[in-house]
Amino acid sequence: MLALVASQMLVFNHIHLFGYATPLVSVYLLFLFPLGTQQWSILLWGFVCGLLTDIVSLTPGVCAASMTLAAFIQPKLLKSMEPQNAAEDMQASFHTLGFWTYVRYAAILTTVFMLAYWLVLAFSFFHFTDMVLTLVGSWIVTTALCLAIEGARTRKTVM
């Protein structure tokens, strides 16, 4: 969690592709919780990670609220995508879910997080086009980075 928050603060907060897309990789923390993890634990970790990200990003409460919502969805989403003979403590990865199922899992969880984040941050539909461009651009970049992090993490454990 600290590595994700530090990378958000030091690197990703300074990236604004085409003036719109800003990656928010702290959501990757939620990808790491295995099946069977207590709901309160996921909610607590999501809130704390979001709060730390808010502190370093100067977005009071926005990331904490978004991470808490995504943390609420994560166990149900993972349960709906688990393979038939999955272990009770299965952790989502390319190997356990399969590549395309994991991509779908990451895309849905990132979508929930990004929608909540940008809607709470904008809190208005005044600049609707800019908000949609920011949301879609940030979603694409964040999802791609989370998939790349997962690829590097699973490659490391296989070798």
pLDDT in tens, 15-74: 767 777 888 888 988 988 888 889 999 999 999 999 998 888 888 889 899 999 999 999
Confirm if 93 and 87 have CB atoms less than 8 A apart. no
The band of 103, judged by pLDDT with boundaries at 50, 70 and 90, is very high
Q: Model confidence at 156, in pLDDT bands (50, 70, 90)?
A: low
Extents of the domains making up the chain: 2-158
Cβ neighbourhood burial of 26 (10 Å; 0-12, 13-18, 19+): buried
Residue tagged 């979508």 (tokens): 111
The pLDDT assigned to 159 comes to 44
Is there a contact between 13 and 56 (Cβ–Cβ < 8 Å)?
Answer: yes
**What is the pTM assigned to this prediction?**
0.84
Tokens 């984040």 belong to which residue?
Answer: 117
Task: Please state the φ and ψ torsions of residue 28, each to the nearest 5 degrees.
Answer: -60, -25
Q: In this structure, how many other beta carbons lie within 10 angstroms of the beta carbon of residue 129?
A: 7
Please tell me which residue, 122 or 40, carries the higher pLDDT value. 40
